[in-house]
Amino acid sequence: MTSLSKKPYANTGRVIAIKPIEKNEVTDEKKNQADEHLVKQKQLEDLEKAIEAAKKKQAEIVEATKEEISSLRATWEEEKQVIENEAYQKGYTNGFTKGEEDGYRSYHEKLVKANEIMETARKTHDRLVMASEETIVELGMKSAEKILNKKLQEEPSTFLSLVQRVMGEVKELPEISLYIHPDQFELVHSQAEELERLLAKPAKLAIYINEDLAPFSCTIESPFGKLDGGLDSQLTELREKLLAITHEEMGNE
């Protein structure tokens, strides 16, 4: 029978050190990202609260003005009744013809005055409502700008849809130069073929870097002129359209 013996493990004297995992840097980075997200979320919440406050203020102004106009109308009805009674008394005392003339004159003067008060109240109402509407538009645009900027930062490819939109406005031109901020140049340049397909053939498209542009902005130049595109210009266009609609609605009331 074969005898098996166990050999003791050899002790080489070599120590293998285990390198500690550095968690602090990763933890700090995640914490900073979380803090930044909370700050942005708080800013959006503050903007939403400001918009709600502006809407509430507008409703209060409108309601207060309506109450003022109703009060003026009620006061005028009372004055009208007093004037009619005075005219009747004057006709009774001094003779119907003279009393009627005096009463009519007094009635007419007070009627003019009441109309002036009503017109002043209406103009005040329109001015206050217009101001509150414009405030709501501006607050809404600021909120939209922050949301869109956040989306563009998180998903840079979204910028391509803005570029495609402005390219669609000049697709019939024979030669187009597209200027992009350096941060978005690589993204846009990688989609050059897709952008060229938006143009009428045989149009030529050249893409350049322009450091003077704001991030997520673009400019198109052609033999027929220059066209600004990107987030800022499109938000400006949207703001102007919203204000125009607000003014038009106020004019129709």
Written as tens digits, the pLDDT of the chain (253 aa) is: 434 344 444 444 444 444 454 555 556 666 666 666 676 667 667 666 766 666 676 667 667 666 766 776 777 677 767 766 766 666 555 555 555 566 667 767 777 777 777 777 667 666 665 655 666 656 555 655 565 666 666 777 777 887 888 888 888 888 889 999 999 899 888 888 888 888 887 888 899 999 998 888 888 888 888 887 766 666 666 566 666 666 666 565 5
Residue for token pair 């609605």: 249
Q: pLDDT at position 228, please?
A: 79
Rounded-to-integer distance, Cα 232 and Cα 129, Å: 27
Per-residue pLDDT at 82? 73
Read off the pTM.
0.41
pLDDT at 4: 39
CA 211 to chain centre: 27
Angle between helix axes 230-252 and 96-154 (nearest 10 degrees) is 160
Q: What is the edge-to-edge ordering of all strands in the sheet holding 217-222?
A: 204-209, 175-180, 217-222, 225-229
Q: What is the pLDDT of residue 166?
A: 80
Structure tokens at 122: 């209406």
What backbone torsions phi and psi does residue 207 show, to the nearest 5 degrees? -115, 125
Q: What pLDDT, on the 0 to 100 scale, is given for residue 222?
A: 84
Task: Determine the 3-state secondary structure of 220 from DSSP.
Answer: strand
What pLDDT does residue 11 have?
46
pLDDT for residue 211: 92
Note the pLDDT of residue 182: 92
What's the CA gap between 126 and 245, in Å, rounded?
15
Tell me the Ramachandran region of residue 22: left when phi exceeds 0, alpha when psi lies from -120 to 50, beta otherwise: beta
